[in-house]
Structure 1
Amino acid sequence: MSDVALQPLTIVEIQRRVASELARIGSVIDELGALFAAAGEELALVGGPVRDAMIGRLQNDLDFTTSARPDTTERLVSGWADAVWDMGRDFGTIGCRKGEWQVEITTYRSETYDPSSRKPDVDFGDSLEGDLGRRDFSVNSMAVRVPGREFVDPFGGIVDLAERVLRTPGAPEDSFSDDPLRMMRAARFAAQLGFSVAPEVVEAMTEMAGRIEIISAERVRDELVKLVCAPHPRLGLTLLVDTGLASYVLPELPALALERDEHHRHKDVYEHTLTVLEQSIDLEHRLGNGPDFVSRFAALMHDVGKPRTRKFESGGIVTFHHHDVVGAKLTRRRMKALRFSNADIEAVSTLVELHLRFHGYGSGEWTDSAVRRYVRDAGDQLERLHILTRADCTTRNQRKADRLRRTYDSLEERIARLGEEEELASIRPDLDGNQIMGILGIGPGREVGEAYAFLLELRMDEGPQTPEAAEAALRAWWDARPS
């Protein structure tokens, strides 16, 4: 994993990067700024785009804040933008597209939470400094007024950015009371940017962790996905566990810290899990470009069944029999609670349930039938299962690690060879339902399904059959059935 995001910055380097980025986006921001200034309104580039410009992360999504009310904003951009939308009008936001640029313009605002509410009350503000003061972290509370390009930093965000630390503009207790989701965002930004979190922020997160319960599951889920898909997820996950937030949003993770790995390869299963996650990320190139949430979350959840299945045997041996099956059930339950899609739930829980299957392969003793079943059970998650299984090897014994790697290489080679010969990815019986009914002289019903299942098992056990051999086997099975 790259440590580029962790390199120190100097104020001079930050200023150089900002100047370069403003030159790149200047035609858009100056033109739009002039449009608002002519109407007597203020406009400033704000938040993430300013922060990202300082750390060299270029983007075409531009966020602005303005003194104009939404109706005025919509009127001003309607003749300038290629497309305009107002889905965020209730929060003071008008969106638009200008060429390759995606733009969001939000009225100065003040946003607070009722102690028992899951949704913010939005009040429009009257100054840029007031708007910046309600933002989550100082590194997101910087702005550039346009068209004049005046830099505004009332809370020392540029210094915090140079020091790579997350602080809140005001007291963290006030910030998290207003919007408890900001505690999750602290962990997410730590994971995305490689930043540390100021001690007073960590202390407030720890004291107020329970307040996250007023936030909807969907909003928590979205932050968790961004965290897991970040370049440094260990930083964010560790912060969630250390502050107690994980006990509310992903309690299966801190529970692992109480369980000793059965081979004593790591301090505990929790540390092993984070290592598996990082090793899984290192293998993501097998799936194509970009972070893969399903693969990463399966790595994070693969051992969550261990606390429920731990048993102490004679001789000091600790076992976790069936933790794969139990873990898959826990994974489904947690992902449903976080409102994940059925597709994501099925994909991750399937990987958790199958992550131990390879260990029955031994030194390559599996029959072709067993290899076929491995592929069939993995289905469209086979490549992710390859990644998880390889990542799950965290032994410090290099000889053992090399042996496991060679053995899995052998299994993948067998899968590829059988795949070429038999089209493993789409294994079906050698006879279809219509052929079954014609041979047996029966109509649609339960018997057809039973015959289909028999032929599928035959295909798994013995490989492809000729139509004649399949028909003979089907008739023999039919004749041997009880009346």
Structure 2
Amino acid sequence: MTLTIPDTLFRIGDIADRNAMGCYLVGGFVRDMILQRPCTDIDIMVIGDPVPFAKQIRKELHGKNFVLFERFRTAQLEIPGPEGVHYKLELVGARKESYNPESRKPITLTGTLEDDLARRDFTLNALALSLNRQGRGDIIDQHNGLRDLKEEILRTPLDPEQTFSDDPLRMMRAARFAAQLGFTPAEEVIEAMETMHKRITIVSRERISTEFLKIMSSPRPSVGLIILHQTGLLQEIMPDVATMAGIEQVDGMGHKDTLFHTFKVIDNLSPHTDNLWLRVAALLHDIGKPATKRFSKQHGWTFHGHDAVGIRTAAKIFREMRWPMSHLDYVQKMIRLHHRPIPLSKEEISDSAVRRLMFDAGEDLLDLMALCRADVTSKNPRKVAKIMNNFTNVEKKIEEVGEKDLLAKWRPPIDGLDIMKELGIGEGRLLGAIKKQMENAIIDGRIPYDREAAITFIKAAYEQLQHEKE
């Protein structure tokens, strides 16, 4: 096997030789070189004290952003590579680990190369490549990682139950690598995850969230999500999502499995966008369905109000997963509006209906239409083709209206302060009602987008409301 190794890394090996230290590339960088995947995050393991070694690298290779963790015998820094690339290095000493059953934080001791590789999560990450001049470029493979890379299988170096007990986050990483790389977890790995899934609760939400969002960012998120569901991990980390699973039958009538429909929607969407929070919106767009599911003999299964329930549940999930609240409004907007384009695609579309959709979606209109297209998961190709054609008609109508950029950034010609000043009223429901009437009148084309026209309208609306009170 011939690997192209940057000369910069061989210079690190030369520094190690001068210090009579064994020096190895380990972990994901070795794996990604073999798989020919781009990677600039590099783990280097040395047999000896990494702290003075890291300081020497910083000096000789002009390292920047140097961070030292002497207690953990770890250092981080950046060094320049070829063609403007910057490598992020993490240097550690070879170690062996033991664990307290109630914690995923290891008790670390100085170890050998063999100790260090055995503590890794999966065999594909338990490979080492020598940087020393003697044996330079040789791959150390004690756990058949090369075989597993070739066969595209995820296995653990040690017994998987022990591996996952030591660090339960590794179960999330199994699902993530399956989604990112397209690898299949070995049968014993899945069985261990099913046995150990409750142990994930000792891991911090922040760490769980990081792995989960990496699954959501992968080429086919459903691969990892299905593994989380089948092993019981999804129920532990996101019970509101897991609850969408299953089909209930009444009088021979069943509804589709909402969870697997959702997984399909995410996969449909993923080739068309790297927008992580649009993918999250796809995950949560039907999250309100379990709570609103009803059956009647007249109408069959209904989910009335599931968008409103979904908006509240999304906020709960954001808090539980420690996701940035700055993205919540966007996700809630997608949940609230994801059914809006569907009726437009089934009927003659009026300009005012299109304007209203454009106004409500604003700058996120294209994202909303992408989500709606992804939401079509029928197995009937003729039905799919018809729906997609109807969506195309909606998009053409949007272009015809010709006000896309204006409505995306639309603001009313007068705001709430103007209305209070003109009418002599304070904040409250009356103000909100009048402001909404004015906005609707402009969107529907009943009055022009003009300050004076808006003032005239609000005065008339106020008089009408006062008259109705009398």
TM-score, reference length from structure 2: 0.88
Residues 66-108 of structure 1, C-alpha deviation per residue, up to 9 Å, x if partnerless? 1233431332222123314216555432122221222221222
Offset at 1:439?
Answer: 4.8
Letter in 1 for 2:268: Q
* Cα shift at 1:234: 2.0
Name which of 222, 237, 240 aligns with 1:249: 237
Q: In structure 2, how many angstroms separate the alpha carbons of the residues matched to 1:427 and 1:70?
A: 57
Q: CA deviation at 1:276?
A: 1.3
Q: Report the 3-state secondary structure (helix = DSSP H, G, I; strand = E; otherwise coil) of the residue aligned with 2:385.
A: helix
The residue aligned with 2:392 is 409
Unaligned regions of 5+ residues in structure 1, if any?
1-14, 285-290
Between stretches 403-412 and 217-226, larger displacement belongs to 403-412
1:281 maps to: 270
Residue 378 of structure 1 pairs with residue 369 of structure 2:
no
1:212 maps onto 2:200 in alignment: yes
Q: Which residue of 2 aligns with 1:420?
A: 403
Partner in structure 1 of residue 258 of structure 2: 269
Contact kept in structure 1, 2:419 and 2:431, CA below 8 Å = yes
Correspondence for 1:149: 137
Q: Letter of the aligned partner of 1:75 in structure 2?
A: K
Note if 1:51 corresponds to 2:28: no
Distance 1:104 1:69 in 2: 13
* Structure 2 gaps, min length 5: none
Query: For 1:241 and 1:434, how far apart are their aligned partners in 2?
Result: 50
Amino acid corresponding to residue 321 of structure 2 in structure 1: L
2:301 corresponds in structure 1 to 318
**1-structure distance, mates of 2:449, 2:91:** 65
Q: Contact conserved, 2:154 with 2:185, CA < 8 A, in 1?
A: yes
1:31 aligned residue (3, 7, 11): 11
Query: For the Cα contact (< 8 Å) 1:261–1:267, is it kept in 2?
Result: no
* CA distance in 1 between partners of 2:173 and 2:72 (Å): 19
- Which deviations, in whole Å up to 9, do the C-alpha atoms of 1:257-277 show, x marking residues without a partner? 313599989962233222211
Partner of 1:7: none
1:116 corresponds to 2:102 = yes
Q: What is the distance in 2 between the residues matched to 1:434 and 1:292?
A: 36
Counterpart residue number, 2:46: 66
1:298-377 to structure 2, matched below 5 A, reads 298-314=281-297, 317-377=300-360
Aligned CA distance change for structure 1 residues 258 and 423 (closer, same or farther; 3 Å):
same
Which 10-residue stretch deviates more, 35-44 or 195-204?
35-44
- What code does the residue aligned with 1:459 have? I
Distance 1:399 1:443, change over 3 A: same
Moved more, 240-249 or 147-156: 147-156
Residue 3 of structure 2: SS of its match in structure 1? helix
Q: Secondary structure at the match of 2:403?
A: helix
State the Cα RMSD in Å: 2.8
**Counterparts of 1:223 and 1:363, CA distance in 2:** 40
Deviations 1:304-339 (A, max 9, x none): 222222222116822222222222322221221010
When normalised by structure 1's length, the TM-score is 0.86
- Offset at 1:391? 0.8
Aligned partner letter, 2:285: H
Query: Taking structure 1 as reference, are residues 259 and 146 closer, same or farther at Cα in structure 2, changes over 3 Å only?
Result: same
From 75, 78, 85, the equivalent of 2:55 is 75
Correspondent of 1:199 among 187, 193, 206:
187
Q: Give 2:74's match in structure 1, choosing from 93, 99, 108.
A: 93
Residues 268 and 110 of structure 1, relative CA distance in 2, 3 Å threshold: same
Report if the CA contact (8 A) 1:46-1:142 is conserved.
Answer: yes
Helix, strand or coil: the match of 2:4?
helix
Q: Is the 8 A contact 2:58 2:66 kept in 1?
A: no
1:287 corresponds in structure 2 to none
Output the amino acid matched with 2:286. Answer: D
Deviation at 1:188, TM superposition (A): 0.5
| CA distance, structure 1, for counterparts of residue 98 and residue 275 of structure 2 | 34
Residues 110 and 124, structure 1, Cα contact 8 Å, conserved in 2: yes
* Partners of 1:305 and 1:327 within 8 A in 2: yes
Please tell me whether the aligned partners of residues 345 and 387 of structure 2 are also in contact (alpha carbons under 8 angstroms): no
Report sequence identity in percent. 34
Between the aligned partners of 1:298 and 1:57, the Cα distance in structure 2 is 29
**Preserved contact between residue 257 and residue 268 of structure 1 (Cα < 8 Å):** yes
SS in 1 for 2:244: helix
SS across alignment from 1:79: helix
Residues 1:264 and 1:278: Cα distance change in structure 2 (over 3 Å): farther
CA distance in 2 between counterparts of 1:304 and 1:248 reads: 16
How many angstroms apart in 2 are the aligned matches of 1:319 and 1:295? Answer: 25
Contact conserved, 1:305 with 1:325, CA < 8 A, in 2?
yes
